Amino acid sequence: MTLRDVSDWYICPQEQRLYNVSREDSKDKLYHNKACKTCVHKDECTKNKRGRQIIRGEYHEVMARADERLAQNVALYKQRQMIVEHPFGTIKRAMGYTHFLLRGIVKVRGEAVMHCLVYNLNACSNYWGQRTS
């Protein structure tokens, strides 16, 4: 058994440290403290019988970095929503492709390419149909 990192903990609202108690080979990290079972504020803090627990998933750091990038670039993400995500909404709602009909990654890729091709053909048709020159 190896010693855990002593800085790997959270602090609960009552200033108690919640230590990492998960196994070394576990993908998720579990943090809790046995003192939570007898804490007088347990009912305010959590509904869990064992006391307050925090579970951090395998990709927690990746999601935290993505959230941080979003917070730093809100205007850029708003622009992306307006420009890039519009075709997907059109394909889904206006063209009626709400789900894939085929199964398997190769077939689904082919179906997605066909959806995009139809979208692009419609866009070209609209563009050339409205030209006045």
Beta bridge partners of 55: 30
Q: Which helix (H) or strand (E) holds 30?
A: strand 29-32
Among 72-81, 95-104, 122-131, the minimum mean pLDDT is found in 122-131
Predicted confidence (pLDDT) per residue in 37-47, tens digit: 788 888 888 88
How many angstroms separate the CA atoms of 57 and 19, rounded? 15
Q: Which amino acid is at 133?
A: S
Q: Is the pTM of this model over 0.75?
A: no
Predicted confidence (pLDDT) per residue in 82-116, tens digit: 888 888 888 888 888 888 999 999 999 999 999 99
Domain spans of the chain, in order of start:
9-63, 85-129
CB of 45 closer than 8 Å to CB of 36: yes
Predicted confidence (pLDDT) per residue in 51-69, tens digit: 888 888 889 889 999 999 9
Mean pLDDT of the chain: 84
3-state percent helix, strand, coil for the chain, nearest multiple of 5 = 50, 10, 40
* C-alpha angle 116-117-122 in degrees, rounded to nearest 5: 95
